[in-house]
C-alpha cells in the first residue's frame, strides 16, 4: 500500500459525483503513487468512468477532494488538470480521426513547451510503438483499432505527464493488441515513474500488469486489494 503524504501522486477522498443533480458515485477513495498502476474494475454502469471524469475535471465533484502531488485540484476545469501533468485517454473516440498521426502527436504536445523534450517524447513513443514511426503521415482514422489505441497512449505521453488516466484501454481490441498495450503501459509506469489509473473490463489482462486494484459496484468501492491477492481468487463473479 502506498503511504500518505509526500509519496502519493494522486489522492482522492470521499468523491461524490454525477450528472446534473444526480449522483452516480457515492464516496470513493483512491490513491496512486508514482510508477504505480492502479486498476479500477467493476461492472458496466458501476460509476468507473464517472469517477475518472470527476478526477480529471470533466465534471465537477459534488463532494470530496482530489489532490495532485499535494495540491488540490477538485474544482479546477479539465484544462487546468492537463496543464498540471494529468492526461486522460477516453474509452472511445480517443484519437483525432481526420488528422494524421503526426498531427495527432503534435497536438497532444500542446502542453509541452520545450521542443527538445517534445522530440524526446516522440522518440519514446516510437520506441514503444515502432509501427507509429512508420505511419507518420497516415490519417489516424484509417489505422486499425489496435494501432489507434497505441497512438492514443503515445499521445498521452507527448505532454510528459506524471499521471495517466486510461478508460478501458483494451476496449474492442484483439487479444494480441491488448497484451501489447498492457505491456507498454507497464513499461511507461516503470521507466518514467508515471502513475496510472486504469479502468478495465478485461479483468485478466488488467490484473497481469496492475499493482493494486479497486472494485466498484453501484457507485461504491466494494473491494481494495493488491493485484496479487486478486489473482489468487478462485473466481471473480461475486465482485460484478
Partner 1 sequence: MTYWIDVLDQALIFAVFALSLNLLMGFAGQVSIAHGAFGAIGGYLAGYLAQEHGWAFGPALAIGVAAALVLGLIVSLPALRLAGEYLILLTLAIQIITLVVITSISALGGLTGLSALPGISLFGSTLLTPQDFLKLLVPIALAVFLLMRRVAGSPAGRVLRGIREDELATQSLGKDVFAYKSQVFALTAGLAGLGGVLLAYYNGVVAPGMFGFSVSMTVIVMVILGGSANLYGTLVGTALVVASGPFFQKAIKLSVDKSSLAQLVAYGVALVAVLRWRPQGIVPEGATPSALLRRMRPGGGMRVAGAAEQARGARVVAIGSGQPALALEARALSKSFGGIRAVEGLDLSLERGRITGLIGPNGAGKTTVFNLLTGALKPDHGTVVLGGRDITGLPPHLIARAGMVRSFQDVRTFGRLTVLENVMMGVAGQRGERMRVVLSPLPLRTGDRRTRDRALEWLDFVGLAQRADEPAGSLAFGEQKLVALARVLATEAEVLLLDEPASGIDRRWSDHMIEHIARLPEAGRTVCIVEHNLDVVQRLAHRICFMHEGSVTAEGTMAELSRQERLQEAYFGPVG
Partner 2 sequence: MICAFIGIDSGSEVLQALVNGVINGCGYGLLAVGFALILSVTGRFHFAYALTYALAAFLAAVLERVYGLPFAPAAAAGLATAAVAGVACDTVVYRPLSDRAGSGAMLAVFVASLGIVIAGENALSLAWGPGPRNLTGIGSHSISVAGATLTTLDVVSVVVSVALSGGLWLLLSRSGFGRQIKAVRANAQMSTAIGIDVARVHTAVFAIGSLVGGVAALLYALKYAASPDMGENAVFYALIVTFLAVSSSSPLRLLAVGVGVALVERVASIWLSPQLSTGVVFVLLLAFLSHRSLRLALGGRSLSFNLARRRTIRGAAG
What is the rounded distance in angstroms from the CA atom of residue 20 to the CA atom of residue 203? 31
* Residue 220 in contact with partner 1, rule: CB under 8 A: yes
**What are the Cα distances from residue 187, in Å, to 24, 100, 109, 173, 193?**
33, 26, 20, 19, 9
**What are the Cα distances from residue 87, in Å, to 3, 32, 167, 216?**
23, 14, 11, 22
* Residue 26 in contact with partner 1, rule: CB under 8 A: yes
Contacts of 133 (CB under 8 A, 6+ apart): 126
* Residue 202 in contact with partner 1, rule: CB under 8 A: yes
Interface with partner 1 in residues 31-60 (CB under 8 A): 43-46
Among 13, 63, 91, 106, binds partner 2 (CB under 8 A): 106
Dihedral of CA 34/197/234/175: which sign? negative
- Minimum CB–partner distance for residue 170 and partner 1 (Å): 7
Judged by beta carbon, residue 97 or residue 114, the one nearer partner 2 is: 97
* Residue 62 in contact with partner 2, rule: CB under 8 A: no
| Residue from 170, 166, 215 nearest 189 by CA | 166
Q: Which stretch binds partner 1 (CB under 8 A): 79-87, 129-137, 159-167, 211-219?
A: 211-219
Dihedral of CA 126/129/134/139: which sign? negative
Dihedral of CA 138/165/127/203: which sign? negative
Give which of partner 1, partner 2, none residue 179 binds (C-beta under 5 to 8 Å, depending on kind): partner 1
* Residue 99 in contact with partner 2, rule: CB under 8 A: yes
* Residue 150 in contact with partner 2, rule: CB under 8 A: no
Give which of partner 2, partner 1, none residue 57 binds (C-beta under 5 to 8 Å, depending on kind): partner 2
C-alpha cell at 96: 483525432
Interface ranges with partner 1 (CB under 8 A):
22-24, 26, 43-46, 170-172, 175, 178-179, 201-206, 208, 217-220, 235-238, 240
Amino acid at each position: 500500500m502506498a503511504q500518505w503524504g509526500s509519496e502519493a501522486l494522486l489522492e482522492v477522498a470521499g468523491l461524490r459525483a454525477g450528472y446534473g443533480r444526480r449522483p452516480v458515485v457515492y464516496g470513493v477513495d483512491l490513491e496512486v503513487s508514482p510508477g504505480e498502476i492502479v486498476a479500477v474494475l467493476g461492472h458496466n454502469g458501476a460509476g468507473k468512468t464517472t469517477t475518472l471524469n470527476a478526477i480529471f475535471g470533466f465534471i465537477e465533484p459534488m463532494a470530496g477532494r482530489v489532490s495532485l502531488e499535494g495540491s488540490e485540484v477538485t474544482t479546477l476545469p479539465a484544462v487546468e488538470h492537463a496543464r498540471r501533468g494529468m492526461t486522460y485517454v477516453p474509452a472511445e473516440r480517443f484519437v483525432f480521426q481526420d488528422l494524421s498521426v503526426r498531427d495527432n502527436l503534435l497536438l497532444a504536445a500542446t502542453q509541452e513547451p520545450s521542443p527538445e523534450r517534445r522530440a524526446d517524447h516522440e522518440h519514446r513513443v516510437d520506441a514503444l510503438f515502432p509501427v507509429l514511426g512508420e505511419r507518420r503521415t497516415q490519417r489516424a482514422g484509417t489505422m486499425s483499432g489496435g494501432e489507434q489505441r497505441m497512438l492514443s497512449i503515445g499521445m498521452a505521453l507527448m505532454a510528459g505527464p506524471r499521471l495517466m488516466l486510461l478508460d478501458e484501454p483494451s476496449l474492442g481490441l484483439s487479444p494480441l493488441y491488448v497484451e501489447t498495450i498492457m505491456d507498454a503501459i507497464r513499461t511507461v509506469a516503470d521507466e518514467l515513474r508515471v502513475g496510472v489509473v486504469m479502468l478495465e473490463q478485461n479483468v485478466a489482462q488488467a490484473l497481469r500488469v496492475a499493482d493494486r486494484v479497486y472494485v466498484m459496484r453501484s457507485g461504491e468501492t466494494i473491494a481494495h486489494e493488491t493485484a496479487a491477492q486478486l489473482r489468487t481468487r478462485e473466481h471473480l463473479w461475486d465482485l460484478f
